[in-house]
Amino acid sequence: AQSVTQLGSHVSVSEGALVLLRCNYSSSVPPYLFWYVQYPNQGLQLLLKYTTGATLVKGINGFEAEFKKSETSFHLTKPSAHMSDAAEYFCAVTLSGGYNKLIFGAGTRLAVHP
């Protein structure tokens, strides 16, 4: 069975500081991994995804994530936080092929303060 653990339900950073949101996954088969962002009262927007190939994945809005198989991790980073990055972030996993259901973590709420 697949699962996702997001460490830290709330993360607070200063504007301009590094953003690091942690995600660890469990999967018995090679996973596809995703980060989605959700703004209040809205649906989920895809930030980036890892399928195969390069383990460092770049996404929208300056975010990137690195797939580390040995650590079963897929942490999300951004070098410099912006006020507009304040939102809820979800890590998700699915089986290779990406056609199956997404299994989500519980989410991390990112606050950015001046």
Residues near another protein (CB under 8 A) are: 4, 9, 34, 36, 41-46, 49, 90, 92, 98-107
Rounded to the nearest whole angstrom, what is the least distance from the CB of residue 34 to another protein in the complex? 8
Query: By C-beta, is 62 or 107 nearer to another protein?
Result: 107
DSSP summary character for residue 52:
S
Cα distances from 1 to residues 35, 52, 57, 83, in angstroms, run 20, 20, 25, 37
User: Which is nearer to another protein, 41 or 70 (by Cβ)?
Assistant: 41
Smaller CB distance to another protein: residue 9 or 14? Answer: 9
Which burial class, exposed, middle or buried, applies to 25 when counting CB atoms under 10 A from its CB (0-12, 13-18, 19+)? buried
Pairing of strands 10-14, 108-113: parallel
Shortest reach from residue 58's CB to another protein, in Å? 15
Is residue 50 within 8 A of residue 33, CB to CB? The reply is yes
Minimum distance of another protein from residue 90's CB (angstroms): 5
In the complex, what is the shortest distance from the CB of residue 44 to another protein, in angstroms, rounded to a whole number? 4
Nearer to another protein, 14 or 39 (CB): 39
Q: Alpha-carbon distance 102 to 34, whole Å?
A: 9
